Structure 1
Amino acid sequence: MAQSEDMLDDDDYPAYTMGRAAEIVGATQDFLRRLEEARLFIPFRSAGKHRRYSRYQLRLAARAREMVDNGTALEAACRIIILEDQLEEALRINRNQQRDAV
């Protein structure tokens, strides 16, 4: 597979500018900055120091936006999402270890 095809399939590849990311998520650029301040994610920085976002980060931002739209405080929404992702990862590791032990 060519390198450009690898990047298209990579959920962590920072393909989106801040403006495009905000448009996709349906939020403002300030909202994305606030997610960064709340440490939900740290966007990649281009050589010119511009923020770049991955598809994975956009999914997190969309989850946060939905929770905030439903009345959850931004900081609480970010903490909930972080904890949910940590739990999901721990469960995945546990399943793999159980499978490998058999």
Structure 2
Amino acid sequence: MIPGQRETPAPGSGGTDKFDDDQYPAYTMGRAAEMIGATQGFLRSLDEAGFLAPQRSAGGHRRYSRHQLRLAARVRELVDHGTGLDAACRIVTLEDQLHEAQRENTELRSAE
């Protein structure tokens, strides 16, 4: 699974409000690049590498969620410190999977 690509509950389906939804694709490419201190080309390279799969607006423009922006910012940080893009993407993918597994483990333990 591509990091940051999870199903978002449909509005009104009992899911969280869009403003609180970490997965809601609220940010345009320009705004997303500005927020993480990267170029739009960097975000395009993450899409081309298969690391992020931003949703597309009706006009075909990429839209990013806060979760995706955190992942992209982490990749940028690693690349800025000399890690190759492919390796940085793999590291962040593994970190994200570990974090998700730990979160699920905590939920399961608290449900007992």
Equivalent residues, number: 99
Query: Does the residue aligned with 1:49 lie in a helix, a strand or coil?
Result: coil
Query: Is the counterpart of residue 85 in structure 1 residue 111 in structure 2?
Result: no
Query: Is the counterpart of residue 43 in structure 1 residue 54 in structure 2?
Result: yes
Query: Is the counterpart of residue 65 in structure 1 residue 66 in structure 2?
Result: no
Q: CA deviation at 1:100?
A: 3.4
Which structure dedicates a bigger proportion of its chain to helix?
1
Equivalent AA in structure 1 for residue 79 of structure 2: V
Q: CA deviation at 1:65?
A: 0.6
> TM-score scaled by structure 2?
0.79
Q: CA deviation at 1:38?
A: 2.0
Q: Report percent identity of matched pairs.
A: 65
Q: Which runs of 5+ in 2 are unaligned?
A: 1-11
CA RMSD for the aligned pairs? 1.9
Whichever of the two has the greater Rg, that structure is: 1
Tell me what 1:27 maps to: 38
Cα deviation code 1:18-42 (max 9, x no counterpart): 1111111111111001111222220
Cα distance in structure 2, aligned partners of 1:19 and 1:98: 41
